[in-house]
Amino acid sequence: MDLPDRVIRERFIREHDRSFSVVAPAGTGKTTAITRRIVDIVARQSIPLEKLIVVTYTNKAAGELQQRTLLEVQKIDGNLNYYNKIFFGTIHAFADQLLRKYGHFIDINPDFEVEKDGHLLWDDFLQNLKGGSFIPPIIGKFVPREALYSLVRDHYHQEIANFTTNSKTSLSSCLGPLLEYPAKSNMNIVHFQENLRYWLQNQELPFPKIGTNSKEFIALYEYLLGPSEDECSQICGDYFNDLVQKFEQFRFREGRFTFYDLIKFSLYLVRHENAKKILCDFFVILDEAQDTDPQQFELLLGIAQPPSIMNVDFFHNPPLPGHFCMVGDPQQSIYADRADVAFYQKIHETFIANGTLEALHFSATLRFGENIIHQINQIFPNILNGKNGQVSFSPLTSAINQFFGVENTFFGHVSGWLCLDTVPFEDELSFLCHFFRKKNPQDFNLSSWSEMAILCPRKNWLHEIQNAFFLMADMPKLQLHSATQTYGEFPEFSWFYAIITVLFSPQNRFEFSGILHEIFGFPDAIIARHFRSGAVEEVVAIEDFFAEIRLKCVTLSPLQILNLLFDKFDLIARIISIHGNFCDKIHKELQLIAAESICNADFLFRLKKKSQEIYQSEWIERDAIQLYTFHKAKGLEWPIVIIPFINRKQMPVVHTFPCIVNQKIAINKRQYEEWSDHCAYVNNLQRLLYVALTRQKRQAIFIDDGREMCPSSIAALLGKFESN
């Protein structure tokens, strides 16, 4: 098929002595183009392949790119030894490789560990901080010690300025009006006043949190304590910078690195005079460039410089021609908490202006036909408009002459589209269940339910849909995917972990109460009564059951214990009866952990560590509708996409305080709202909508209950194009 932008694509594939910045919108085949460029480099041996670095965002994407390239290379060259010199992987995997191979230049032991659980590392650091754990009193009033870890974590995304102050604000002198405020029947205010009086007698404790919604009381609180809170934020900045340095020195000394350390220490390596002579002249192909943060850009551009340049200031000392190509789409920059789309655009624009890179734009998509292209090109120029920090829309053209018989379907507020009366139903969730009840894939011209996806901007909304489908009869099966789902969220994992914890530690009442509540269904009142008196006969029987199994497990291996417990507690049947689904993949992961454990204590340690890891679901059930968040759906496509809850209010993620906001440290919601950039949040939401609307191949269905449109809802974002 001859694509409208074929000449542009061929230049990217064939011209190896030039550096490009490619903008590749949804469905335009960026992975295919990258694959073909690599294959062409291998075929012509135009550059040394041991110097070729192909970096993408996830291990899964890197593996797919490597596999696709391998299949093409096999067609042209039987000798794969040459091809195998290429690096495919994430930026963190590449940094890990650099440090293990060349870390001796900066005194790094190549046997360092990469810690996935930063909180455990933080706890170890605090315990080893001899004489240095003092927290300034005013910080101790407002900021719990453990909350400082969030600042350490966020430091890698945003640099903050040092603050110094010699002021010593006295809180006690300004609290009288709060204590004298007439609380009347507001028990939240009464409770706060009681805590405040107790704090005045015990000022070594953190300052009590306000829990009322009374606008008048909150205004008085902020008037009296606002200056002290702002001073605390400034002192926190000064203290925090010192803490960051000590924590980094601890990790370096212990050889226990975070993923962010891999990048930071690799930058130290690239700046080292002797290491720079080796770590130079690389040829970098960067995929998903819009999701790359400034430090990662600095590393990749630094290794693409010639050896004669010791300064890694790449804006003034850019890579040589052909040494750096990046492919991305700013419209799909949806990880505002990790990436910096403004920095990506600065690199794109600066390097194009000075001739380092040449801009290429892929516009032809094979994902959808002219009817959908027309709708997207109509809607998004007014949403992604390049104003107030938003990116600009890149128009699409269709590479297929196909007009599907089924139009895109929008229900509700968006005029000019097919509408459906949802009045008979209580809400959109009820309608959604009715819409699918007694349906089969053939009703939608699909061969299986896996060709349809329901997408939500919020993870907790997915669980609402899952529960509603489970409770109604004659409904299709759903397969839930989540960007942040951990192994510990699966009942087959969390229940077993709780059981084996109690098995090895009978005194652990927390886990035992969880077992009684989750697995056996005892209400909280009965559990509490048993712990007070030990007189609940049914619970005593379960304790005796544990004692019996404990004796049997003495001579068993961890794998034998696993199988015994699943059998004795009938866990699979219990999970299916309560949650409606059992994940065999999680069960196999448990079996693998058990088989690898050398003893029961090791087994429990491995379970605890694994429970915090993110679960990546790759297997797709053909008989299940796919249930995704907008974020998780990025890079995927389906013939039909359904987006419910378009009138619901879109709220920013609730932050853990303190947090870094525009080079300041916010210790509460008031400061966050005053200092944050609301436009940045809205811009990210608009790009998230673009990702969701470009996952469809045939049809997008928006379900709307007809309620009043919330200004921060999806419907409001879609409605923008009508008023322009």
The answer to whether residue 127 is domain-embedded is no
- End of a domain among 320, 351, 366? 366
Are 420 and 531 in the same domain? Answer: no
Most confidently predicted of 136-140, 185-189, 478-482, 625-629? 625-629
- Which range (44-58, 170-184, 394-408, 539-553) has the least confidence? 394-408
From residue 387, alpha-carbon distances to 345, 393, 463 in Å are 14, 11, 35
- Which range (388-402, 473-487, 597-611, 703-717) has the least confidence? 703-717
Instruction: Tell whether the model's pLDDT for residue 191 goes beyond 60.
Output: yes
Are 443 and 518 in the same domain? Answer: no
pLDDT, position 568? 84
Are 154 and 239 in the same domain? Answer: yes
Range of the domain at 677: 372-484+621-722
Q: Residue written as tokens 């109690």?
A: 502
Are 494 and 606 in the same domain? Answer: yes
Count CB-CB contacts under 10 A for residue 569.
19
Are 335 and 386 in the same domain? Answer: no
491-504 vs 537-552: helix crossing angle, rounded to 10: 80
Instruction: Tell whether the model's pLDDT for residue 205 goes beyond 80.
Output: no
Instruction: Tell whether the model's pLDDT for residue 510 goes beyond 90.
Output: no
Task: Find the mean pLDDT for residues 184-207.
Answer: 79
Instruction: Tell whether the model's pLDDT for residue 421 goes beyond 50.
Output: no
Q: Residue written as tokens 């084996």?
A: 500
Contact indicator for 628, 458 with CB cutoff of 8 Å: no
Are 247 and 281 in the same domain? Answer: no
pLDDT, position 237? 73
Are 44 and 99 in the same domain? Answer: yes
From residue 216, alpha-carbon distances to 26, 193, 209 in Å are 49, 15, 16
The answer to whether residue 599 is domain-embedded is yes
Q: How confident is the model at residue 678 (pLDDT cuts 50, 70, 90)?
A: confident
The count of domains in the chain is 4
Contact indicator for 54, 88 with CB cutoff of 8 Å: yes
Tokens read off for 341: 């789309």
The answer to whether residue 557 is domain-embedded is yes
List the 638-643 sheet strands across, edge first.
409-410, 696-702, 638-643, 452-456, 624-629, 477-480
The answer to whether residue 115 is domain-embedded is no
The answer to whether residue 476 is domain-embedded is yes
- End of a domain among 366, 396, 421? 366
Are 603 and 493 in the same domain? Answer: yes
Instruction: Tell whether the model's pLDDT for residue 112 goes beyond 90.
Output: yes
Count CB-CB contacts under 10 A for residue 577.
9
The answer to whether residue 112 is domain-embedded is no
What does the alpha-carbon distance between residue 304 and residue 289 come to, in Å, rounded to a whole number?
A: 16
The answer to whether residue 125 is domain-embedded is no
- Which range (226-230, 570-574, 678-682, 707-711) has the least confidence? 707-711
Contact indicator for 58, 90 with CB cutoff of 8 Å: yes
pTM: 0.75
Contact indicator for 31, 380 with CB cutoff of 8 Å: no
- Which range (80-89, 215-224, 565-574, 615-624) has the least confidence? 615-624
The answer to whether residue 117 is domain-embedded is no
What does the alpha-carbon distance between residue 127 and residue 557 come to, in Å, rounded to a whole number?
A: 34
The burial class, CB within 10 Å (0-12 / 13-18 / 19+), for 486 is: middle
Give the residue with greater pLDDT, 628 vs 158: 628
Q: How confident is the model at residue 432 (pLDDT cuts 50, 70, 90)?
A: confident
Q: End-to-end CA distance of the chain, in Å?
A: 36
- End of a domain among 570, 585, 611? 611
pLDDT digits (tens, 9 = 90+) for 567-607: 888 888 888 776 666 778 888 888 888 888 888 878 888 88
Mean pLDDT of all residues in the chain?
Answer: 82
Task: Find the mean pLDDT for residues 553-579.
Answer: 84
**Which own/partner contact pairs does 8-11 have at CB distance under 8 Å and 24+ positions apart?**
8/360, 8/361, 8/362, 9/33, 9/362, 11/360
Give the residue with greater pLDDT, 458 vs 21: 21
CATH number for the domain spanning 684: value is: 3.40.50.300
Are 657 and 597 in the same domain? Answer: no
259-271 vs 215-254: helix crossing angle, rounded to 10: 60
Instruction: Tell whether the model's pLDDT for residue 274 goes beyond 70.
Output: yes
Contact indicator for 342, 680 with CB cutoff of 8 Å: no
Most confidently predicted of 181-195, 521-535, 678-692? 678-692
What does the alpha-carbon distance between residue 293 and residue 340 come to, in Å, rounded to a whole number?
A: 6
Contact indicator for 33, 9 with CB cutoff of 8 Å: yes
Tokens read off for 371: 């009817």
Tokens read off for 233: 């934020």
